[in-house]
Structures are given as C-alpha cells and as structure tokens.
Amino acid sequence: MRNVAMGFKLQFAPTGPIFQVLARLKGKGAITQDQMQLARKIFYVCNQAVHGRLVSRGEAQEVIDAAEVLFHQYLDWLSWGFDDNWKPSLPH
C-alpha cells in the first residue's frame, strides 16, 4: 500500500500507521471502500498473528482470499502509468 501511495504522490511517514495510508488512498480515490476494508482486514489479522495472538482458521482463510484479490489489483495499480512505466510480466 505504501508503494501505491508513492505512485499517487501521497506524502506519508514511512513508519506511520498503515491505516492512515489506506485512508489517504481512499480519500484520493486511489482505492475503493471495498479495497480499503479488505486491506484493513488483512493488516489487522496479520498484525494479530505477528504479535502472537490467536487467529482462527476462518480469519486466516479470509486473509488468504482477500490477499489473492488485492494482489491482482495491486499489479494493476503498479501499471497505471506511474513514472517508471512498470508493466506486469506475462505468465509463461
């Protein structure tokens, strides 16, 4: 999300809360409400797991499903004509 924010020329603290980055991306129209909610869910559950808190199998599966959706959208974001003209590679 920070890479997407950089592509949209949003200023943010590199170590600031990711939820603020998401809110700023949403405010700029770079992501939708649904994308923001999916990303928030991913970051919330992963943060819980990283800090040793219990994550249910259902929560883990939701994160896997959401991450798959956002991954493909992330590749699209990176090819939206940001300065380096990055394009995703084609599958072999």
Band of pLDDT at residue 85, cut at 50, 70 and 90 = low
With respect to residue 84, please indicate whether it lies within any of the assigned structural domains: no
pLDDT digits over 4-46, tens only? Answer: 788 788 888 878 888 899 999 899 888 889 889 888 988 889 8
With respect to residue 90, please indicate whether it lies within any of the assigned structural domains: no
> Structurally, how many domains does the chain consist of?
1
Residue 81 has pLDDT above 60, yes or no: no
Domain that holds residue 62: 2-78
Q: Which of 25, 4, 10, 5 is nearest to 79 (CA)?
A: 4
DSSP of 39-75, one letter per residue? HHHHHHHHHHHHTT----HHHHHHHHHHHHHHHHHHH
With respect to residue 89, please indicate whether it lies within any of the assigned structural domains: no
With respect to residue 92, please indicate whether it lies within any of the assigned structural domains: no
pLDDT digits over 41-76, tens only? Answer: 888 898 899 999 999 999 889 888 888 877 877 777
The CB density around residue 38, as the number of other CB atoms within 10 Å, is 21
With respect to residue 88, please indicate whether it lies within any of the assigned structural domains: no
With respect to residue 83, please indicate whether it lies within any of the assigned structural domains: no
What radius of gyration, in Å, describes the C-alpha atoms of the chain? 14
pLDDT at position 4 is 79
Tell me if the pTM is above 0.85.
no
Determine the longest span between alpha carbons in the chain, in angstroms. 41
